[in-house]
Amino acid sequence: MTAQHLMQTYAPHPVAFVRGEGAWLWDTEGKRYLDALAGIAVNGLGYAHPVLTRAICDQVAKLMHISNHFRVPEQERAAAKICELSGMENVFFANSGSEANEAAIKLARLYGHQRGVESPAIIVMEKAWHGRTLATLSATGSRKAQAGFEPLMGGFLRVPYNDIAAIERLADNPSVVAVLLEVLQGEGGINVAHPEWLRQVRAICDRKQWLMMVDEVQSGIGRTGKWFAHQWAGVVPDVMPLAKGLASGVPIGACVARGVAAKVFKPGNHGSTFGGSPLATVAALTTLDVIEKEGLLAHAHRMGEVIQGGLRQELSGVAGVKEIRGMGLMIGVELDRPCGDIVRRGLAAGLVTNVTAERVVRLLPPLVIQESEAKRLVEMLAPLVKAFLAEAPAAAAA
Ligand SMILES: *Cc1c(COP(=O)(O)O)cnc(C)c1O
């Protein structure tokens, strides 16, 4: 294998997977791994789910793509299902999380212009992640990701996460048209929103006629044990970007809206060649269907408790472990030092994990992970973390 003709945007581990089944992966050498990453919260149904495989193969044999010059019945059905599950009204389909956020940002700007705001601004959060296109990179709160791509786009006002006072201080700024936030900051290190803060943001958005835009690209589609993580707080957003888990690996993005936000875009305002193809939307419909029929919301919630509880038992009080947090199957173990090496150690031991925000071991296993596998995950990870902490002194590693 050689990667010399690939741009050096990634630094992949020297492992290549050739197939998977449920929560398990096999590499080119035939070695088996337990997957606690699910292709970054994409493969909620795990690998080779027979119902999904069948639906995708059937659709490929009929029609993959036709363009949005024509009605796409599968797209209409997927949109109706997403609206039924979210209590929202309509959907624009794109092809990635960045594109879903890009649509949300454009929607907010157009909403502002329609209300006579000349230079609309969107309030965004520190440590936020919304994507790598220029607009979404500008909305993202990672200097590391932004560095070198200046000039960034204007029109974003950044405030600390979980801080309602900081948002209130912008209440009299006439440029503000929307607030964009994640319920759990995935890339930012599994930072969890306080439900009370989400309700306060909802209230100020109602009061100021701002759009509450909740990026559920990573936290949505059952990952936290509800369809969408904001549902735990009992709020409904005006705009909701989705992607990752929505179509189980077939590229898709969706910008979901309701109320005034559902009426902003008119023909010609926005579009996509690939977005909402029969293939992608059949994959989405089938994914949602399987999650429903197999009771995966309650299951994900319970497996989250098994994993979080197990990790607490094994790692709480261990020197170097700062916090174990998350919701459902979106879990972070924060250490006191950079810990990227845990991913390498995990692979050696047959466990696929991830480290984000330098110090947070992030677990995003497939929603279908079984209880015995959830326990196995804890049994594999806890000793890895302990060994790492023992062998990589905080000062040397930092
Ligand atoms: C991954 C992610 C994105 C970007 O999605 P891409 O498909 O990589 O463009 C946006 N927002 C959140 C919250 C994400 O986790």
- 356-398: per-residue pLDDT in tens? 999 999 999 999 999 999 999 999 999 999 999 999 877 554 4
Average pLDDT value for residue range 298-304: 98
CA-nearest residue for atom 5, ligand 1, is 97
pLDDT at 20 over 50: yes
Half-sphere exposure of 357 (CA within 13 A, CB side): 21
Whether the CB of 20 sits within 6 Å of ligand 1: no
Q: Distance between CA 57 and CA 146 in Å, rounded?
A: 39
Looking at the chain, the whole-number percentage of residues with pLDDT higher than 90 is 97
* Whole-number pLDDT of residue 392: 86
Average pLDDT value for residue range 22-35: 98
**Residues contacting residue 210 through CB under 8 Å, at least 6 positions apart:** 123, 176, 177, 178, 179, 204
Global model pTM greater than 0.85: yes
Please tell me the distance between residue 109's alpha carbon and the centre of ligand 1 in angstroms: 20
Q: Quickly tell me which residue has 């970054």 as its tokens.
A: 40
Whether the CB of 98 sits within 6 Å of ligand 1: yes
Q: Could you read off the pLDDT of 322-356 as tens digits, one per residue?
A: 999 999 999 999 999 999 999 999 999 999 999 99
SS3 content of the chain, % helix, strand, coil (to 5): 40, 20, 40
Q: Which of 134, 138, 191, 218 to mutate to test the pocket of ligand 1 (most atoms within 8 A of CB)?
A: 218
Q: Coil, helix or strand for 44?
A: coil
The two structure tokens encoding residue 331: 């879990």
Q: Distance between CA 398 and CA 388 in Å, rounded?
A: 13
Average pLDDT of the residues of the chain: 97
Q: Distance between CA 131 and CA 4 in Å, rounded?
A: 26
Ligand 1 atom showing the smallest separation from residue 253 Cα: 7
Query: For residues 121 and 175, is the Cβ–Cβ distance under 8 A?
Result: yes
Cis peptide before 267 (omega within 30 of 0): no
* Whole-number pLDDT of residue 398: 46
Q: Distance between CA 265 and CA 91 in Å, rounded?
A: 11
Average pLDDT value for residue range 176-195: 98
Ligand 1 atom showing the smallest separation from residue 251 Cα: 7
Angle at 344 between CA 338 and CA 350, to 5 degrees: 135
Ligand 1 atom showing the smallest separation from residue 128 Cα: 13
Q: Could you read off the pLDDT of 218-240 as tens digits, one per residue?
A: 999 999 999 999 999 999 999 99
Sheet holding 24-27, edge to edge: 17-21, 24-27, 32-35, 351-352
pLDDT at 36 over 80: yes
* Whole-number pLDDT of residue 381: 98
Whether the CB of 219 sits within 6 Å of ligand 1: no
Q: Could you read off the pLDDT of 120-173 as tens digits, one per residue?
A: 999 999 999 999 999 999 999 999 999 999 999 999 999 999 999 999 999 999
Average pLDDT value for residue range 85-112: 98
